[in-house]
Amino acid sequence: MDEFDIETLAEPELSDPVLVEGLPGVGHVGKLVAEHLLEELDGEPVRRVYSEHFPPQVDIDEGRAKLASAELHAVEADGRDLLVLTGDHQAQDAAGHYRLTDRFLDIAAEFDVERVFALGGVPTGELIDEYDVIGAATGDESIEELEAAGVEFREGEPAGGIVGVSGLLLGLAERRDLPAACLMGETSGYLVDPKSARAVLEILEDIVGFEVDFDSLEERADEMEEVVQKIQQMEGGQAATDDDLRYIG
Amino acid sequence: MDEFDIETLAEPELSDPVLVEGLPGVGHVGKLVAEHLLEELDGEPVRRVYSEHFPPQVDIDEGRAKLASAELHAVEADGRDLLVLTGDHQAQDAAGHYRLTDRFLDIAAEFDVERVFALGGVPTGELIDEYDVIGAATGDESIEELEAAGVEFREGEPAGGIVGVSGLLLGLAERRDLPAACLMGETSGYLVDPKSARAVLEILEDIVGFEVDFDSLEERADEMEEVVQKIQQMEGGQAATDDDLRYIG
Amino acid sequence: MDEFDIETLAEPELSDPVLVEGLPGVGHVGKLVAEHLLEELDGEPVRRVYSEHFPPQVDIDEGRAKLASAELHAVEADGRDLLVLTGDHQAQDAAGHYRLTDRFLDIAAEFDVERVFALGGVPTGELIDEYDVIGAATGDESIEELEAAGVEFREGEPAGGIVGVSGLLLGLAERRDLPAACLMGETSGYLVDPKSARAVLEILEDIVGFEVDFDSLEERADEMEEVVQKIQQMEGGQAATDDDLRYIG
Amino acid sequence: MDEFDIETLAEPELSDPVLVEGLPGVGHVGKLVAEHLLEELDGEPVRRVYSEHFPPQVDIDEGRAKLASAELHAVEADGRDLLVLTGDHQAQDAAGHYRLTDRFLDIAAEFDVERVFALGGVPTGELIDEYDVIGAATGDESIEELEAAGVEFREGEPAGGIVGVSGLLLGLAERRDLPAACLMGETSGYLVDPKSARAVLEILEDIVGFEVDFDSLEERADEMEEVVQKIQQMEGGQAATDDDLRYIG
């Protein structure tokens, strides 16, 4: 295997596609959105990316070993073509984040992607009621458009910038003159958060122009709600254990 | 020295050999099996692999310094040819795991290996009576065959996937269309575990088709049993010290 | 993107320019000086350096995402040409520090830089009244000149040498026969320290031969003074929180 | 600067030289021996090795900045030619240890070095009276010769092997068919230990065949003795502070 090993799974013609990234991160918000799109919409995997910058491991699914990877799926959403990037891993080292993101953008270029949306969560440190979506973008036009759609732009937020593939998709897309925006759902940061994912997805629908059913995301949100209630009932109100999160997430 | 320095020690002709990997890991289960095969069966070392991805050290054996390495031995087991991979070290970095595993598979290809077995332990966190063996594989046929031999395939196990060379042997072998399976003996995770090794070895014998004497493994198991009893007799029942483990392991 | 991606923003002719480095470090002393020079003096950005050795992130400024970078500005100070290097990040790995510094010196060579000043802070561990400036240099002539300007050279200081780009600018400049000196303002190490920055700037003015207004640096110093007083008023006199520092810094 | 930057300072003809390595390590034993040889014997620096695998820093000596490096000195000891390797730093990463050691052996080959001695300390965890020297070597002949000279070879020591340049000098020298041995003075591990250094040096003298004056090493030992006594007089008998060690060391 080389530093990167990119498998071609399909070569569909896409019309003005939009790249939607949802890799693991705070509250698994981006990943929940990406997975929901893959569940609800018609599409097919087009590329699988293996890399020595991913953790050195296989994931096990019903006994089947799968080498750590990220996948890009072509998905049709009410006539809009999406290229949805998701997976179970982030890069393991700083240079790896740069190089991996660059490969994702190479693939996006092969499909003539015209705009990039990086999805994620921004931790608030407390359980929240109203799920605002914070934004960042590579150009002022984007900022205005996102603000009109209800995205919040707050001075000094997110503090510390945006780290990992989501952040670099903006930074490296701009170097390629490709418009990119990041939509970050507010989330406690302690739990897998389908409600935050829904808030992000609603913004994405509005801007890109499509609609999906929210039922399965709602179900997940209800399950999480029960977990939260159980946690609050417990004396001391301790955070959910990893097992709880893993089960629901 | 280059990134890898591979010494050729012998070039035997092997007939449909099976690669058996037993590098250090949880409970030293895989390593115990590999070492037992080398002790009990006729064979010879065929390759020694040095790499800057191993820790920067020499091991000392009766005053003799030996550069960190992994070795592949050709071993004959009741007419079946095994290529046994073992050593004292894992790679030190994520990319190193990928590259090292790739080299091991290159060597396996030189000997026309037709199947890969990665051996290891899976930690249960408690001392155990019945030594189940958990499996993972690259294909459904393998899974069925292993299940018939008594290997357990459990939903969501091992949690967190399989990390290191054992995991990547499956992941990278599949990329080469080479069937691969991982046999993981349940073990407390606190102690070097010859009983778990025996459970794994019995499965391996059954699938590959050979038999070895278990006496020396039994002796090691008895020694460990004494250590466990001493530990349980101690007030507070604390875990064995490193020295105990080192002595027995 | 390659390991480095250097954007050319302008190509002015500079006359015997002096490189002034002020990247983030102890008390943000160097960075405060560099930013003050950019605020007070006429100039223009000439190069922007992106690198996979920077952290994998974008910084957000009023919703606009900016890929981690360092910038070099050509600045005119009373007829003296300065090449001011600043940014928000240091390299993330040892080799990255070496390689990044080497690129900065390559750019300095393009502009025929004749001398290098690396600016920083040296932590004393306590709040201080008199802001001495400690020095280090690549040649004895420089040391004499700096001593005459009031820079202190103390046996065994700074203990542990000078780490990061500031240190390597001296080490690698000497390998290129380029005179280089480091000016380190004493600072508690707990707070962003505009007073220490002023002490360093006064030395730099004296040696290079220019003057700038100190008003905005004084204002920052007054703001910090208030923070320090608030801290001292608090029971237990605990150190400022990150938020305080971030606000002022 | 490249990955390595090797400065040629002199090109003396050496007769059957022996490489003596004394880089920083446990008790600074190896470094003390190397420095003592440079102080007491006639010689000259022949190579200076800079590398991005060293820490990214300059050391400061009376205001002069010196880029992190290692040096090889040609030294004449009673008619025997020594190539003494010393410096203030070890490599910062695993691969760096391998690559740096390889370069040191390349330089040794340029001078036709016929044997390698890596010097170091082995920590006992307690203050000691009798300073035994533990050995390791690449060949059985060496082991016999060292044993005859009073070097101890103990089963399973040093536990964990020999890490860093000292260990790799043995491992990589053997790959080049160059005889190599490691002499490790027992030392508490808490203090810079000139007595342990003397014990190692006496063995080295005996095997290589030369004599040096021990006075300055004795003085250092006496200074350390005072430190140890002060420490033992202190209530609670706490370990020496870093400053004490730095002063004496």
pLDDT in tens, B128-176: 889 999 999 999 999 999 999 999 998 888 988 999 999 999 999 999 9
Neighbors of chain C with 3 or more C-beta pairs under 8 Å: A, D
Structure confidence by residue, pLDDT tens digits, D23-42:
999 999 999 999 999 999 99
Q: What value does the mean pLDDT take over residues C211-217?
A: 93
Q: What value does the mean pLDDT take over residues C34-52?
A: 97
Q: Does the residue C151 lie in any domain?
A: yes
Structure confidence by residue, pLDDT tens digits, A126-143:
888 899 999 999 999 999
Residues 6 or more apart in contact with residue B236 via CB below 8 angstroms = none
Q: How confident is the model at residue C243 (pLDDT cuts 50, 70, 90)?
A: very low
Beta bridge partners of C84: C20, C73
Q: Does the residue A242 lie in any domain?
A: no
Structure confidence by residue, pLDDT tens digits, B162-172:
999 999 999 99
Q: What value does the mean pLDDT take over residues B5-14?
A: 97
Longest dimension (CA), chain D: 56
Q: Which residues of A touch B100 (CB under 8 A)?
A: none
Burial of C238 (0-12, 13-18, 19+ CB in 10 A): exposed
pLDDT at A198 over 90: yes
CB atoms B168 and A59 under 8 Å: no
Q: Does the residue B229 lie in any domain?
A: no
Q: Does the residue B227 lie in any domain?
A: no
What ranges in D153-233 are assigned the alpha helix state H? 165-175, 194-204, 215-233
Please identify which residue in the block is written with the tokens 């500079």.
C14
Residue among D94, D137, D138 whose CB faces B56 most closely: D94
ipTM summary value: 0.89
Q: Quick one: CA dihedral A108, A109, A111, A113, positive or negative?
A: positive
What pLDDT does residue D179 have?
97
CA of D146 to nearest chain C CA: how many angstroms apart?
A: 37
CB atoms B57 and D95 under 8 Å: no
CA of D231 to nearest chain B CA: how many angstroms apart?
A: 30
pLDDT at D84 over 90: yes
Structure confidence by residue, pLDDT tens digits, C106-156:
999 999 999 999 999 999 988 888 999 999 999 999 999 999 999 999 888
Report DSSP letters for D10-22, one per residue.
-----SS-EEEEE
Q: How confident is the model at residue D236 (pLDDT cuts 50, 70, 90)?
A: low
pLDDT at D234 over 90: no
CA of D230 to nearest chain B CA: how many angstroms apart?
A: 34
pLDDT at C236 over 80: no
pLDDT at C242 over 60: no
Higher pLDDT, B227 or A35: A35
> Which residue on chain C is closest to A147 by alpha carbon?
C63
| Structural domain count of chain C | 1
What pLDDT does residue A205 have?
97
pLDDT at D248 over 50: no
What pLDDT does residue D155 have?
87
Residues 6 or more apart in contact with residue A49 via CB below 8 angstroms = A4, A5, A6, A7, A69, A70, A71, A72, A87, A100, A103, A104, A107
What pLDDT does residue C97 have?
97
Q: Does the residue A89 lie in any domain?
A: yes
Q: Which residues of C touch D1 (CB under 8 A)?
A: 98, 102, 172, 175
CB atoms A158 and C64 under 8 Å: no
pLDDT at D223 over 80: yes
CATH of the domain at A160: 3.40.50.10900
Q: Does the residue B222 lie in any domain?
A: no
**B109 at D interface, C-beta within 8 A:** no
Residues 6 or more apart in contact with residue D178 via CB below 8 angstroms = D105, D108, D113, D114, D115, D116, D138
Give the tokens for residue B68: 């960190």
| Domain housing B15 | 4-214
Q: Does the residue D126 lie in any domain?
A: yes
Backbone angles phi, psi at A172, to 5 degrees: -80, -30
What pLDDT does residue B235 have?
53
Longest dimension (CA), chain C: 56
Please identify which residue in the block is written with the tokens 């110093």.
C221
CA of D96 to nearest chain B CA: how many angstroms apart?
A: 8
Whole-number percent of chain D with pLDDT over 90:
80
Burial of B20 (0-12, 13-18, 19+ CB in 10 A): buried
Q: Does the residue D50 lie in any domain?
A: yes
The region, left, alpha or beta by phi > 0 then psi within -120 to 50, assigned to residue D91 is beta
Q: Which residues of A touch B153 (CB under 8 A)?
A: 62-63
Q: How confident is the model at residue D53 (pLDDT cuts 50, 70, 90)?
A: very high
